[in-house]
Amino acid sequence: MAKAGNRIIFSLECKVCKRRNYSTTKNKRTNPEKVKLKKYCAFCRRHTEHKETK
């Protein structure tokens, strides 16, 4: 059975409308900085930058 370790679950928030649309995981040890991704926002109806939040 796999152990939890350094992997955390976090949300991605749209920078335009400030809604949390996605949740994903990352390894805190290998990626300590905050994640920024271009994702589709269903509320804005376009691709926008999404930033990591708790």
Residue 53 to residue 46: CA distance in whole angstroms: 20
Considering the entire predicted model, what is its pTM?
Answer: 0.80
pLDDT of the residue at 2: 63
Per-residue pLDDT reduced to its tens digit, 1-54:
666 678 999 999 999 999 999 999 999 999 899 999 999 999 999 999 999 998
pLDDT of the residue at 1: 60
pLDDT of the residue at 6: 85
C-alpha neighbours within 13 Å on the C-beta side of residue 12: 16
CATH number of 7-53: 2.20.28.120
